[in-house]
């Protein structure tokens, strides 16, 4: 472990409605209407705030799709859900995903700033670009923009939204005439209680990392190894420095899929039980989508072919997350499992995001190691089943982190931007090689 850092870790929760595993709904702890039940969402917000967590994060997608065996089919618009949760909480940050590909910057800037105002300065936008054909079909298009065009639109979109938020503060109209948008005017929403809403970014491609360094306050990253996380951490921080910002201006929070138990054996048993309740094909289907290759065509008891692992990604045809693909292939290269072994291993070590199965004490060890190694500023935790997994995080994990000086004992600020500023301090970075 490297030298200890100042500050404390940032902790968020990725609220995938009921949990990240498809069988999360199969429990007596939930009712049939829990995903759309106001009491369920109030409970999630209250649990997060009981643990003094920094933020809760809600993903979104604009594809109609088809019904599937999934714990997260029922969805509200994140800003609607979080506006409701904001009434039942007072400190926890509320992060909502919205795409730059199929939204209008003026409307989104107004909606997010309105949400920020009514929540008392606790709103954040998770900036994503839509990459899948079904989403494009939902908007009457045959396909999405090419990756380069999506990120150019996303970058310009972010600039317009930030300028509009500034217009609410100054009362001065913006005049923007770019490749994708022509906007003249200003927002008439009250200015943000936290300066402007926080921006997170969730893309792992080179374009996404550069955009994060330029405009984001945080990155929802995908990391399977500490070495890869350290490299990504330094890359985004260097992009921030190149953009004239401080390295500490952008916080790196990889996702971490969790199954916790009082013993490691209990945690593995819980993980196995939840996986076994889901479809047997789930892992193979997810992996195929994530790497852009049909895993069912591979020999289960042979290693992954070198030509697959070394093949460059085709940016014109690959529709998955480049960050997920990179982290998966990096893990496979390190451990060299057979296909069958890797599919079994993902029960315990994660998919595109890292995974953890064990005790809260063991998880604290991992968080401490990665934090002081300069791999993270915190984690965006994803419980296997949210309703009881979040309780363990709030009531068992957080006190252990506090005991090691890794987490605060109470909220120190009232806004999400304040939470981030009061947290971790980025270690000094060496200059990038010429």
327 is in an annotated binding site: no
Both structure tokens of 76? 């509200």
Contact 321, 204 (CB under 8 A): yes
Which residue did the predictor score with more confidence, 339 or 374? 374
205 is in an annotated binding site: yes
Other CB atoms within a 10 A radius of the CB of residue 246 amount to: 10
Percent of all residues in the chain with a pLDDT value above 90, rounded to a whole number:
64
Query: Domain with 46 in it: what CATH number?
Result: 3.20.20.30
142 is in an annotated binding site: no
Q: Is the pLDDT of residue 433 over 70?
A: no
Lowest mean pLDDT across 5-19, 175-189, 356-370: 5-19
Residue 432 domain-assigned? no
pLDDT at 434: 36
Residue 297 domain-assigned? no
Q: How far apart are CA 191 and CA 114, in angstroms?
A: 9
Lowest mean pLDDT across 65-74, 157-166, 230-239: 65-74
Q: How far apart are CA 407 and CA 379, in angstroms?
A: 12
Q: Give tens-digit pLDDT for 149-191.
A: 999 999 999 999 999 999 999 999 999 999 999 999 999 999 9
The structural domain count of the chain equals: 1
pLDDT, mean over the chain: 90
Residue 250 domain-assigned? yes
Residue 302 domain-assigned? no
97 is in an annotated binding site: yes
Confidence of residue 72 (pLDDT cuts 50, 70, 90): low
How do 182-185 and 174-177 pair as beta strands? Answer: antiparallel
Q: What is the CA radius of gyration of the chain?
A: 21
Both structure tokens of 421? 């500023």
Contacts within 8 Å (CB) and 24+ apart, 4-7: 4/372, 5/371, 5/372, 5/374, 5/424, 5/425, 5/427, 6/424, 6/425, 7/422, 7/423, 7/424, 7/425
Residue 187 domain-assigned? yes
- Domain containing 242: what range? 10-258+351-421
CA 343 from chain center: how many Å?
A: 23
Token pair 């209250």 is at which residue? Answer: 46
């Amino acid at each position: 472990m490297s030298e200890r850092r100042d500050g404390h870790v940032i902790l968020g929760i990725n609220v995938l409605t009921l949990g990240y595993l498809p069988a999360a709904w199969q429990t007596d702890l939930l009712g049939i209407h829990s995903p759309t039940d106001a009491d369920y969402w109030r409970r999630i917000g209250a649990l997060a705030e009981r643990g003094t967590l920094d933020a809760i994060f809600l993903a979104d997608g604009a594809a109609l799709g088809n019904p599937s065996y999934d714990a997260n089919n029922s969805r509200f618009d994140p800003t609607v859900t979080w506006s409701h949760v904001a009434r039942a909480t007072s400190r926890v940050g509320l992060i909502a995903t919205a795409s730059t590909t199929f939204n209008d910057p003026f409307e989104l800037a107004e909606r997010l700033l309105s949400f920020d105002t009514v929540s008392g300065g606790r709103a954040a936008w998770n900036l994503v670009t839509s990459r899948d054909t079904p989403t494009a079909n939902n908007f009457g298009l045959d396909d999405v923009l090419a990756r380069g065009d999506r990120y150019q639109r996303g970058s310009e979109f972010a600039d317009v939204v930030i300028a509009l938020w500034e217009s609410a503060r100054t009362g001065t109209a913006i005049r923007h005439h770019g490749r994708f948008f022509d906007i003249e005017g200003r927002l008439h929403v009250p200015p943000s209680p936290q300066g402007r809403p926080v921006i997170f970014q969730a893309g792992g491609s080179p374009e996404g990392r550069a955009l994060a360094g330029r405009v984001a306050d945080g990155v929802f990253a995908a990391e399977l190894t500490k070495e890869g996380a350290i490299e990504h951490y330094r890359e985004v921080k260097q992009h921030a420095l190149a953009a004239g910002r401080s390295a500490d201006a952008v916080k790196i929070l990889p996702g971490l899929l969790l199954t916790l138990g009082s013993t490691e054996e209990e945690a593995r048993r819980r993980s196995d039980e939840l996986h076994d309740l889901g479809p047997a094909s789930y892992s193979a289907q997810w992996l195929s989508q994530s790497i852009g290759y049909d895993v069912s065509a591979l020999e289960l008891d042979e290693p992954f072919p070198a030509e697959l692992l070394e093949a460059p990604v085709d940016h014109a045809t690959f529709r998955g997350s480049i960050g997920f693909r990179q982290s998966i292939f990096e893990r496979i290269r390190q451990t060299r499992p057979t296909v069958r072994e890797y599919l079994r291993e993902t029960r315990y070590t994660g998919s595109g995001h890292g995974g953890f199965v064990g005790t809260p004490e063991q998880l604290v060890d991992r968080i401490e190691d990665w934090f002081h190694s300069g791999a993270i500023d915190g984690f965006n935790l994803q419980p296997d089943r949210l309703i009881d997994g979040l309780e363990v995080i709030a009531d068992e994990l957080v006190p252990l982190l506090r005991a090691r000086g890794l987490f605060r004992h109470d909220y120190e600020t009232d806004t999400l931007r304040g939470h981030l500023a009061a947290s971790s301090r980025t270690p000094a970075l060496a200059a990038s090689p010429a």
